[in-house]
Amino acid sequence: MTSPEDIQTSIETARGHDTDRYLTALMAPRRVRASLMALYAFNCELARIPGLVTEPALGEIRLQWWRDVLGHMDGKVTMAAPVADALGTAIATHDLPKPLLLGMIDARSADLDGGGFPDLQALKAYLYKSEGALFALSARILGADTSQAGRAANEAAVACGLTNLMRVLPRDSAAGRVMLPLSMLDAHAIRPEQILAGKGDAELKPVLAELAGVARTARDTAFQHIAELKPSARRAFAPLALVEPYLDVLEKPDHRALQDIADINPLVRFWKIWRTA
């Protein structure tokens, strides 16, 4: 069972590495907060792996550790790891489908490789397995049927996922990762080496403008599907409210895509999440 220490560790992990979803969980009903925090902390643990290892093989070992842990989770046996124990309780409490969680782990192999995606469809497939599963599982914790929430989850994944990839381009490039569709870069004669060197802001603008358009379309479609869900489950999609503010920052004339991480006023973030939730 989850101890108070496990819950606190989950809260601190989510708060420190994914403020948007930490606020989403904070504004959810008290009875499901610990489960949401555990799920978001698990996602943060996966997202942190590339920054903690020097070789992709070491990252794969860590990802395999999570696969093995998931195989033994039943909500009763302790894993001696606070986030894992909290996640185990969430799985048992809400009957979370492990294939979605395993898919989240598998998707993170692309983060370790960091060589980009062949095209936009490949990037979307990555976002479905990572961000999409996270939205779907969150909605299930909040009372939605996983299959029913799937369409909304995938569209929300594209909207939020593309926005976040563009936001943190400087961080990814500094870490030697190019998480963009290579076909789109090639169409504008942009080489991945340019991005890794922090050069080519002007050349990237049309690529980012196209991705922003895809993100907005996906957000609008997601809202249509979200309207079909029960009100309690809609809270899981509160981060969608931040897509437009983030894109507004990314599209400012003075924004440097490869130097500046796009962010918004913390009070605006809090208000948007609160209003939507």
Asked if residue 29 has pLDDT above 60, the reply is yes
Q: What is the pLDDT of residue 39?
A: 96
Q: Give yes or no for a contact between 9 and 22, defined as CB atoms under 8 angstroms apart.
A: no
User: How many Cα neighbours within 13 Å face the side chain of 87?
Assistant: 29
Check if CATH label 1.10.600.10 holds for domain 114-277: yes
Residues 269, 71: Cα–Cα separation, whole Å: 37
231 by Cβ neighbours in 10 Å (0-12 / 13-18 / 19+) ranks as exposed
DSSP, res 118? S
pLDDT tens by residue, 188-207:
999 999 999 888 888 999 99
Overall average pLDDT of the 168-184 stretch: 92
Beta bridge partner(s), residue 181: 117
Asked if residue 38 has pLDDT above 80, the reply is yes
pLDDT tens by residue, 126-168:
999 999 999 999 999 999 987 789 999 999 999 999 999 999 9
Is this structure's pTM higher than 0.85?
yes
pLDDT tens by residue, 58-104:
999 999 999 999 988 765 556 668 889 999 999 999 999 999 999 99
Locate 38 and state its tokens. Answer: 């555990």
Residue spans per domain, the chain: 1-96, 114-277
Q: Where are the alpha helices (DSSP H) in the chain?
A: 4-17, 19-26, 30-52, 56-72, 82-94, 98-107, 109-113, 120-127, 133-141, 146-167, 169-174, 182-187, 192-196, 201-226, 231-234, 243-250, 266-276
- Kindly indicate the confidence band of residue 10, based on its pLDDT and cuts at 50, 70 and 90: very low
Of the chain, the percentage scoring pLDDT greater than 90 comes to 70
